[in-house]
Chain A
Protein backbone atom coordinates (compact mmCIF):
# COMPACT_ATOMS: atom_id res chain seq x y z
CA UNK A 1 0.00 0.00 0.00
CA UNK A 2 1.27 3.46 -0.82
CA UNK A 3 1.64 6.22 1.74
CA UNK A 4 2.05 9.88 0.98
CA UNK A 5 5.41 11.49 1.62
CA UNK A 6 5.28 15.24 2.15
CA UNK A 7 8.62 16.65 1.06
CA UNK A 8 7.28 20.13 0.43
CA UNK A 9 7.58 21.81 -2.96
CA UNK A 10 10.91 21.31 -4.70
CA UNK A 11 9.71 23.95 -7.18
CA UNK A 12 9.92 26.45 -4.30
CA UNK A 13 13.66 26.93 -4.74
CA UNK A 14 13.79 29.67 -2.08
CA UNK A 15 13.89 26.96 0.60
CA UNK A 16 16.93 25.22 -0.95
CA UNK A 17 18.65 24.99 2.46
CA UNK A 18 15.95 22.51 3.52
CA UNK A 19 16.29 20.30 0.42
CA UNK A 20 16.88 16.58 0.97
CA UNK A 21 19.15 14.40 -1.21
CA UNK A 22 16.22 13.35 -3.42
CA UNK A 23 15.26 16.97 -4.03
CA UNK A 24 18.81 17.87 -5.03
CA UNK A 25 18.76 14.86 -7.37
CA UNK A 26 15.53 16.23 -8.93
CA UNK A 27 17.03 19.72 -9.35
CA UNK A 28 20.29 18.42 -10.84
CA UNK A 29 18.47 16.03 -13.18
CA UNK A 30 16.34 18.93 -14.51
CA UNK A 31 19.37 21.24 -14.82
CA UNK A 32 21.50 18.66 -16.66
CA UNK A 33 18.50 17.82 -18.88
CA UNK A 34 18.10 21.47 -19.91
CA UNK A 35 21.83 21.69 -20.70
CA UNK A 36 21.75 18.48 -22.78
CA UNK A 37 18.73 19.47 -24.91
CA UNK A 38 20.28 22.91 -25.45
CA UNK A 39 23.52 21.23 -26.50
CA UNK A 40 21.70 18.87 -28.89
CA UNK A 41 20.35 21.84 -30.89
CA UNK A 42 23.80 23.51 -30.85
CA UNK A 43 25.58 20.27 -31.81
CA UNK A 44 23.38 19.71 -34.88
CA UNK A 45 23.79 23.39 -35.88
CA UNK A 46 27.61 23.26 -35.68
CA UNK A 47 27.95 19.91 -37.45
CA UNK A 48 25.58 21.16 -40.18
CA UNK A 49 28.63 22.82 -41.73
CA UNK A 50 28.94 19.36 -43.38
CA UNK A 51 26.03 20.35 -45.63
CA UNK A 52 28.25 23.05 -47.21
CA UNK A 53 31.30 20.91 -47.89
CA UNK A 54 33.79 18.52 -46.38
CA UNK A 55 36.59 21.03 -45.77
CA UNK A 56 34.44 23.58 -43.88
CA UNK A 57 33.20 20.75 -41.61
CA UNK A 58 36.74 19.56 -40.80
CA UNK A 59 38.05 23.12 -40.40
CA UNK A 60 35.19 24.15 -38.09
CA UNK A 61 35.85 21.20 -35.76
CA UNK A 62 39.63 21.83 -35.86
CA UNK A 63 39.17 25.54 -35.08
CA UNK A 64 36.78 24.87 -32.18
CA UNK A 65 38.99 22.13 -30.74
CA UNK A 66 42.01 24.44 -30.89
CA UNK A 67 40.37 26.67 -28.27
CA UNK A 68 41.17 25.71 -24.69
CA UNK A 69 37.84 27.10 -23.49
CA UNK A 70 36.02 24.63 -25.78
CA UNK A 71 38.00 21.74 -24.27
CA UNK A 72 36.97 22.88 -20.77
CA UNK A 73 33.34 23.24 -21.88
CA UNK A 74 33.51 19.67 -23.21
CA UNK A 75 34.65 18.47 -19.77
CA UNK A 76 31.60 20.28 -18.36
CA UNK A 77 29.39 18.62 -20.97
CA UNK A 78 30.84 15.23 -20.01
CA UNK A 79 30.06 15.91 -16.32
CA UNK A 80 26.50 16.90 -17.19
CA UNK A 81 25.97 13.85 -19.44
CA UNK A 82 27.51 11.35 -17.00
CA UNK A 83 25.43 12.63 -14.08
CA UNK A 84 22.23 12.60 -16.17
CA UNK A 85 22.98 9.01 -17.28
CA UNK A 86 23.82 7.71 -13.78
CA UNK A 87 20.93 9.49 -12.08
CA UNK A 88 18.71 8.30 -14.96
CA UNK A 89 19.68 4.69 -14.20
CA UNK A 90 18.82 5.39 -10.54
CA UNK A 91 15.39 6.76 -11.56
CA UNK A 92 14.68 3.77 -13.83
CA UNK A 93 15.43 1.38 -10.94
CA UNK A 94 13.16 3.34 -8.60
CA UNK A 95 10.38 3.26 -11.22
CA UNK A 96 10.84 -0.52 -11.45
CA UNK A 97 10.24 -0.65 -7.68
CA UNK A 98 13.88 -1.19 -6.71
CA UNK A 99 16.15 0.89 -4.50
CA UNK A 100 13.76 3.49 -3.10
CA UNK A 101 15.01 2.87 0.45
CA UNK A 102 18.53 3.65 -0.71
CA UNK A 103 17.61 6.50 -3.10
CA UNK A 104 19.68 9.03 -1.13
CA UNK A 105 22.73 6.74 -1.11
CA UNK A 106 22.37 6.02 -4.85
CA UNK A 107 22.24 9.79 -5.49
CA UNK A 108 25.49 10.29 -3.57
CA UNK A 109 26.98 7.33 -5.48
CA UNK A 110 25.94 8.99 -8.77
CA UNK A 111 27.70 12.19 -7.72
CA UNK A 112 30.90 10.43 -6.62
CA UNK A 113 31.01 8.25 -9.73
CA UNK A 114 30.40 11.29 -11.97
CA UNK A 115 33.27 13.12 -10.24
CA UNK A 116 35.58 10.11 -10.63
CA UNK A 117 34.79 9.58 -14.33
CA UNK A 118 35.16 13.30 -15.12
CA UNK A 119 38.47 13.68 -13.28
CA UNK A 120 39.82 10.54 -14.98
CA UNK A 121 38.74 11.93 -18.38
CA UNK A 122 40.36 15.36 -18.03
CA UNK A 123 43.74 14.30 -19.52
CA UNK A 124 41.96 12.90 -22.60
CA UNK A 125 39.80 15.99 -23.08
CA UNK A 126 42.51 18.58 -22.45
CA UNK A 127 45.35 16.59 -24.00
CA UNK A 128 46.39 16.49 -27.66
CA UNK A 129 47.20 19.45 -29.85
CA UNK A 130 45.48 22.66 -28.72
Chain B
Protein backbone atom coordinates (compact mmCIF):
# COMPACT_ATOMS: atom_id res chain seq x y z
CA UNK B 1 0.00 0.00 0.00
CA UNK B 2 1.19 3.52 -0.70
CA UNK B 3 2.95 5.30 2.19
CA UNK B 4 1.31 8.56 1.25
CA UNK B 5 -1.73 8.97 -0.89
CA UNK B 6 -3.63 11.97 -2.17
CA UNK B 7 -5.79 12.36 -5.26
CA UNK B 8 -4.44 15.95 -5.53
CA UNK B 9 -3.99 17.09 -9.12
CA UNK B 10 -1.92 20.29 -9.37
CA UNK B 11 -3.34 21.12 -12.78
CA UNK B 12 -6.97 20.70 -11.86
CA UNK B 13 -9.06 23.64 -10.62
CA UNK B 14 -12.07 21.29 -10.58
CA UNK B 15 -10.23 19.00 -8.14
CA UNK B 16 -9.73 21.86 -5.66
CA UNK B 17 -13.24 23.29 -6.09
CA UNK B 18 -14.77 19.84 -5.55
CA UNK B 19 -13.04 19.65 -2.14
CA UNK B 20 -13.70 23.27 -1.13
CA UNK B 21 -17.41 22.91 -1.96
CA UNK B 22 -17.41 19.56 -0.09
CA UNK B 23 -16.11 21.23 3.08
CA UNK B 24 -18.81 23.93 2.82
CA UNK B 25 -21.59 21.45 1.99
CA UNK B 26 -20.77 19.14 4.93
CA UNK B 27 -21.68 21.99 7.29
CA UNK B 28 -24.59 23.54 5.37
CA UNK B 29 -26.30 20.27 4.37
CA UNK B 30 -26.23 19.11 8.00
CA UNK B 31 -27.60 22.53 9.09
CA UNK B 32 -30.35 22.34 6.41
CA UNK B 33 -31.48 18.89 7.62
CA UNK B 34 -31.38 19.95 11.28
CA UNK B 35 -33.35 23.15 10.72
CA UNK B 36 -36.02 21.75 8.38
CA UNK B 37 -36.59 18.33 9.92
CA UNK B 38 -35.70 18.60 13.60
CA UNK B 39 -36.07 22.28 14.64
CA UNK B 40 -39.03 22.77 12.25
CA UNK B 41 -40.84 19.55 11.31
CA UNK B 42 -41.10 19.16 7.52
CA UNK B 43 -44.91 18.71 7.72
CA UNK B 44 -45.22 22.09 9.44
CA UNK B 45 -43.34 24.07 6.78
CA UNK B 46 -45.43 26.97 5.46
CA UNK B 47 -44.80 29.75 2.97
CA UNK B 48 -44.92 32.29 5.81
CA UNK B 49 -42.24 30.40 7.75
CA UNK B 50 -40.04 29.99 4.66
CA UNK B 51 -40.51 33.67 3.84
CA UNK B 52 -39.51 34.70 7.38
CA UNK B 53 -36.27 32.69 7.06
CA UNK B 54 -35.48 33.76 3.48
CA UNK B 55 -36.05 37.43 4.34
CA UNK B 56 -32.95 37.36 6.56
CA UNK B 57 -29.99 38.46 4.43
CA UNK B 58 -27.55 35.98 6.02
CA UNK B 59 -29.91 33.00 5.58
CA UNK B 60 -30.78 34.01 2.00
CA UNK B 61 -27.08 34.37 1.07
CA UNK B 62 -26.27 31.00 2.71
CA UNK B 63 -29.07 29.25 0.81
CA UNK B 64 -28.03 30.84 -2.50
CA UNK B 65 -24.41 29.76 -1.89
CA UNK B 66 -25.76 26.32 -0.91
CA UNK B 67 -27.51 26.12 -4.30
CA UNK B 68 -24.41 27.18 -6.24
CA UNK B 69 -21.97 24.90 -4.38
CA UNK B 70 -24.34 21.89 -4.40
CA UNK B 71 -24.96 22.31 -8.14
CA UNK B 72 -21.24 22.49 -8.91
CA UNK B 73 -20.31 19.64 -6.53
CA UNK B 74 -23.09 17.36 -7.77
CA UNK B 75 -22.76 18.00 -11.49
CA UNK B 76 -18.95 17.90 -11.36
CA UNK B 77 -19.26 14.62 -9.43
CA UNK B 78 -21.49 13.17 -12.15
CA UNK B 79 -19.00 14.32 -14.81
CA UNK B 80 -16.08 12.74 -12.88
CA UNK B 81 -18.02 9.48 -12.47
CA UNK B 82 -18.69 9.36 -16.23
CA UNK B 83 -15.01 10.08 -16.98
CA UNK B 84 -14.12 7.17 -14.66
CA UNK B 85 -16.38 4.97 -16.77
CA UNK B 86 -14.30 5.89 -19.84
CA UNK B 87 -16.34 8.74 -21.36
CA UNK B 88 -14.21 10.28 -24.10
CA UNK B 89 -14.19 12.11 -27.42
CA UNK B 90 -17.43 13.56 -28.86
CA UNK B 91 -19.59 11.88 -26.21
CA UNK B 92 -17.50 13.62 -23.53
CA UNK B 93 -18.04 17.05 -25.15
CA UNK B 94 -21.79 16.45 -25.59
CA UNK B 95 -22.20 15.28 -21.98
CA UNK B 96 -20.22 18.28 -20.71
CA UNK B 97 -22.44 20.66 -22.72
CA UNK B 98 -25.62 18.96 -21.40
CA UNK B 99 -24.37 19.14 -17.82
CA UNK B 100 -23.49 22.84 -18.19
CA UNK B 101 -26.98 23.58 -19.59
CA UNK B 102 -28.67 21.54 -16.82
CA UNK B 103 -26.58 23.37 -14.19
CA UNK B 104 -27.47 26.77 -15.64
CA UNK B 105 -31.18 25.84 -15.68
CA UNK B 106 -31.01 24.62 -12.06
CA UNK B 107 -29.20 27.78 -10.92
CA UNK B 108 -31.70 30.02 -12.72
CA UNK B 109 -34.76 28.23 -11.37
CA UNK B 110 -33.20 27.92 -7.90
CA UNK B 111 -32.50 31.66 -7.79
CA UNK B 112 -36.05 32.38 -9.01
CA UNK B 113 -37.38 30.12 -6.25
CA UNK B 114 -35.20 31.80 -3.62
CA UNK B 115 -36.52 35.21 -4.66
CA UNK B 116 -40.12 33.91 -4.70
CA UNK B 117 -39.64 32.69 -1.13
CA UNK B 118 -38.77 36.24 -0.04
CA UNK B 119 -42.22 37.28 -1.30
CA UNK B 120 -41.03 38.79 -4.59
CA UNK B 121 -43.28 38.27 -7.62
CA UNK B 122 -41.16 36.27 -10.11
CA UNK B 123 -43.98 34.70 -12.14
CA UNK B 124 -43.47 35.05 -15.91
Q: Kindly supply a per-residue 1/0 record for chain B positions 67-106, scoring 1 wherever the CB is within 8 Å of any chain A CB and 0 otherwise.
A: 1001100110110010011100000000000000010001
B47 lies within 8 A of A44 (CB): no
Contact partner, B47, options A50, A88, A100, Cβ 8 Å: A50
A51-B123, A74-B42 known; A2 vs B77 contact (CB < 8 Å): no
The A/B interface has a contact count, at CB < 8 Å, of 121
CA distance A42 to B30 in the complex (A): 19
Main secondary structure of the interface of A (DSSP, over half): helix
* Complex interface bits, A58-75 against B, C-beta within 8 A gives 1, otherwise 0: 100110011000000010
In the docked arrangement, what's the CA distance between A4 and B3, Å?
10
Kindly list chain B residues whose C-beta atoms are within 8 Å of the C-beta of A45.
109
A58 surroundings in chain B (CB, below 8 A): 45-48
Using a CB-CB cutoff of 8 Å, which residues 35-86 of chain A contact chain B?
Answer: 36-37, 40-41, 44-45, 47-48, 50-52, 54-55, 57-58, 61-62, 65-66, 74, 78, 81, 85
A-B residue pairs in contact (CB < 8 Å), sample of 9: A33-B78, A37-B78, A41-B102, A47-B113, A47-B117, A48-B113, A51-B116, A58-B45, A88-B26
The 5 closest A-B pairs by CB, nearest first: A37-B74, A54-B47, A65-B43, A50-B116, A51-B116
